[in-house]
Every structure is written in C-alpha cells, then in structure tokens.
C-alpha cells in the first residue's frame, strides 16, 4: 500500500496563508500521487483478469489463487485429447484399442479356441471310429472257435496259438494233385509280401481234412516244398470235423475210402485271415490273387491298429516281435 505522507506545512503555508499559486501546486502533487496508485492497481487488475478461468463448478477464479485450478490442470483442459498429457500417458483415442493387455487377451483367446476345436475334432473322430467298429462287428461272420490239433512236429496246437499274430489258414490234404499246392504257394507269397511291409507278423497254417492219411510225419515231409514258416496241423476224425465246423469248411471223403487207398477229398478252396485276437477277418478264394490278398490284409491291419488306439504293445511292430519269439 502506498502511504502518502503529508508534511506539516510551516506556519507560513497554512490554508489561511495559501496563495493561489501555492494551492494549485499542492493539488497537482496530490493528483499525481493518486494517478500513480490508480495506474498500478489498474495494471494489476488487468493482469489478473487475463488469467481468470472457470473452475469445475462453474465459478470464475484467478489462476494461481488458492481456490483456483493449477496451471497444469488448465493446460490439460486446453490440450486436445489426442495429445500427450503431463503425466506422459496418451489418450485412448490416440493409442488405439491394441494395447498390450488387449494383445494378450487376443492371443489367449486364440490358443483356447485352438485347443477347444482340436478336442472336439478328436471326439468326432473317436465317435466315427466306434461307429465303424460297431458296424464291422455286426457284419463279421461267425467263423472260428476252440479246437485241439497237433503240429507236424508233434506239438499240441489250439486256438490260443493264433493269438498275437496274423494267421493265414488253409484247409487241404497232402494227396491233393494241384489245387492245394497252388493255394499254398500263393499263401507263401502273401506272407513274404507282408514280411516286407511289417516284418514276420503272420503265420501260415495248413490243416489237413484227411486225418486217416495225413499223420504229422507225412505232413512234415509235405511242407518241405512250401514256405519255411508253414505250420501243418492234423488230428483225429472228430477233431477234424470240429474245426471244419467252426471255420465253416466243407469236406467229404468217399464212403468206401480206406487209408491205403487212392482217393480225393472234396473240400472248400479258401484260406482265412485271422487277426491277432483270433477273430475272423476275411476269406480268400481261388480267384483272389496275391495282390488282392495283400491289399486287403494291409487294409485290415490298419483298421486293427486303429481299433487298438495305436498303442505300442498292440502295434504291428510288437506283433512281429512276438511272432519271432514263438516261431
């Protein structure tokens, strides 16, 4: 505050003693002082009025006053939303929606959907596989069953010996002139082709339908001309009848036939493919070539492995190992 000090005028300058010239000079001094004060106040008010802003509640306040907004707040309000704020952060409209958090959520969602669809695909494939197996079981012929025979080396042989490998079984007799040798040769070639693809997973078997003339030693001599893994089986007449009935094989011996006689046995010309579980898979007639049999066998082997779920212990390779151990 500007304080005007008025000095006491000497006695000679008292009002009653003022002269017109001295009175005018004193008035001018007071006016000048007042103008200076007014000018200073006016400048201050002008500077303050230039910084008057509206607060959030709508009142006009002077920037920098205790009740007014800070300078940074005012600048932030005046700044466009797309610019960077005083704290260094950007507005959402400036940086867009692809923030790091949004990217992580997008990736997590994609991974989750991938595994979900893979799981659903596996369920669909499993349902189709079970449906296929069910239909196959419905259409499977009831071929095979328990039996007891003797090998050409004199060892007992039952249906349990069929387990663990793919078996090719042919019914015939050693005195057969041409058909039986041709079918046994064909069966041996099929075994060789399967060996090339999978290893020794199969066993060829010859079962005599002429028990009176085909004892084990004679069968052993007969099999020398065929595949080295070929197993010859024979038994009594009732045993032969039982296995032929189980495998649906027809055979007929002349009524007047004697063991020392020369006769032919009428029989079915088929050999059978059995899986490692001892179940019937397919029957192949005389018209089926080696390629036809191998193609069908490969198809059935693939189905069998799929049915087992591709497990190591039930895979084709494991069957081959087990076949080598028992050969």
Binding residues: 176, 180, 267
Tokens 């959520």, residue located: 105
Give the DSSP H or E segment for 172: strand 166-172
Q: How does 211-228 read in b/e, with b if 16+ C-beta sit within 10 Å?
A: bbbbbbebbeebbeebbe
Give the DSSP H or E segment for 49: helix 20-50
Q: Rounded distance, CA 239 to CA 327, Å?
A: 24
- Among candidates 193, 136, 142, which has minimal Cα distance to 168? 193
- Among candidates 87, 104, 106, 84, which has minimal Cα distance to 95? 84
Annotated binding-site positions for Cu cation: 176, 180, 267
Q: Rounded distance, CA 320 to CA 326, Å?
A: 10
Going by the DSSP 8-state scheme, the letter that residue 223 receives in this structure is G
- CB 212, CB 259: distance < 8 Å: yes
């Amino acid at each position: 505050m500007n304080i005007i000090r008025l000095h006491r005028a000497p006695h000679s300058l008292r009002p009653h003693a003022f002269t017109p010239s001295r009175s005018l000079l004193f008035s001018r001094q007071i006016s000048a002082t007042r103008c200076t004060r007014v000018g200073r106040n006016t400048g201050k008010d002008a500077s303050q009025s230039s910084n008057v802003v509206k607060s959030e509640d709508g009142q006009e306040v002077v920037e920098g006053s205790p009740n007014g907004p800070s300078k940074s707040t005012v600048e932030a309000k005046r700044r466009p939303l797309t610019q960077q704020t005083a704290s260094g952060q950007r507005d959402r409209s400036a940086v867009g929606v692809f923030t790091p958090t949004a990217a992580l959520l997008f990736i997590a969602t994609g991974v989750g959907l991938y595994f979900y669809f893979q799981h659903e695909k596996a369920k669909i494939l499993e349902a189709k596989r079970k449906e296929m197996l069910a239909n196959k079981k419905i259409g499977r012929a009831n071929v095979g069953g328990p039996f007891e025979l003797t090998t050409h080396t004199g060892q007992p042989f039952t249906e349990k010996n069929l387990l663990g490998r793919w078996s090719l079984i042919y019914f015939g007799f050693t005195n057969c002139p041409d058909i039986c040798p041709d079918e046994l040769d064909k069966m041996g070639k099929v075994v060789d082709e399967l060996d090339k693809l999978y290893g020794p997973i199969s066993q060829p078997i010859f079962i005599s339908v002429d028990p009176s003339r085909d004892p084990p030693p004679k069968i052993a001599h007969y099999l020398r001309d065929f595949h080295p893994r070929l197993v010859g089986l024979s038994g009594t007449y009732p045993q032969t009848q039982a296995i032929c009935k189980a495998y649906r094989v027809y055979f007929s011996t002349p009524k007047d036939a004697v063991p020392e006689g020369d006769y032919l046995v009428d029989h079915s010309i088929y050999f059978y493919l059995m899986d490692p579980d001892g179940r019937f898979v397919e029957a192949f007639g005389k018209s089926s070539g080696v390629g036809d049999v191998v193609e069908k066998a490969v198809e059935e082997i693939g189905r069998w492995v799929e049915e087992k779920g591709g497990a190591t212990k039930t895979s084709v390779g494991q069957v081959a190992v087990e076949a080598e151990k028992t050969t």
